[in-house]
Amino acid sequence: MNLITHNVNEITIGQRAIDGYINATAMCQACGKQLAHYLENQTTKAFLEALCENIGIPILDLAQVKRGRNGGTWVHPQIAINLGQWCSAQFAVLVSKWVYEWMSRGKAPAVTPLLPSPKERLENIRLGLDLFQQLGGCDERTEILLKDCIRNILVEDKLQPVLPGRVEYPVSDRAVVLGYRPTPAQLRKIGKEAARIYQQRHAEKPIQREQFVGGTTRMVNVYSEADVDVLDEAISLVMGNNTTVMSAKVHELTR
């Protein structure tokens, strides 16, 4: 992990160079506060809900819990700015400065990684559920979506030995990896674009497999690792460039 480090009150606070995420656990340690108290705050809950809705990134991606070396809760730059304001006036100034300096360096991922392994994705969901509990639980719609994700990951993991060397991605999974939260209507548009691009490349329709959606199963198009760029192009056509959107929103808070 390529880190930018900041030292405050003899505590090293990491900031990921690739996406600007900051270690919120270390921030709170440096100012003698508890991250859980920030997350329990009603104003924080309202802010996180509004942020998710505004920039279209799921809460599981806005705040990421990591274990081991450089462990802790890593948060999106906009959350880090809000957390800094909650911590103290000093942190309000410092974190805004860190985010602005990171943006000025023009740091952005050159290549977005493919899906993590099924085990890693299940672990991320488990850690995300812990975060949901700190935020007061999740609604019925979120529970259904999480159950769909878990079922699909388990089915995918079971199928992999039968399909050696072939990893397949549905549109919805790839969109989440890229940081988007498309609506059902947008997913349908992305699916049509991806199928069109795939057919232009291979002169045949994409293969399909069964996937859980809304608690029931249906057949969806899936794409191999060799054609993941097809998904990326289709998602970009419908959703736009997410990195640009994020940078613009952070810039508004740091001007």
Domain boundary among 110, 138, 167: 110
Region 233-247: mean pLDDT is: 66
> Please, which residues have CB within 8 angstroms of residue 44's CB and are 6 or more apart in sequence?
38, 82, 86
Residue 245 domain-assigned (yes or no): no
More confident residue, 66 or 76: 76
Number of independent structural domains in the chain: 2
Say if residue 141 is in the same domain as residue 208: yes
Tell me the residue type at 104.
S
Range of the domain at 149: 124-240
pLDDT single digits (tens) 170-222: 787 777 766 677 887 888 899 999 999 999 988 888 887 766 555 556 677 88
Answer whether residue 19 shows pLDDT above 60: yes
88, 59, 57, 65: which is closest to 249 by C-alpha? 57
Residue 230 domain-assigned (yes or no): yes
Domain boundary among 110, 139, 166: 110
189, 204, 202: which is closest to 235 by C-alpha? 189
Portion of the chain with pLDDT greater than 70, in percent? 71
Residue 255 domain-assigned (yes or no): no
pLDDT single digits (tens) 94-106: 999 999 988 887 5
Say if residue 85 is in the same domain as residue 149: no
Lowest-confidence region among 9-18, 97-106, 172-181, 224-233? 172-181
Q: CA-CA-CA-CA torsion for 140, 144, 146, 152, nearest 10 degrees?
A: 180
Q: What are phi and psi of 216, to 5 degrees?
A: -120, 170
How high is the pLDDT of residue 37? 92
Say if residue 157 is in the same domain as residue 91: no
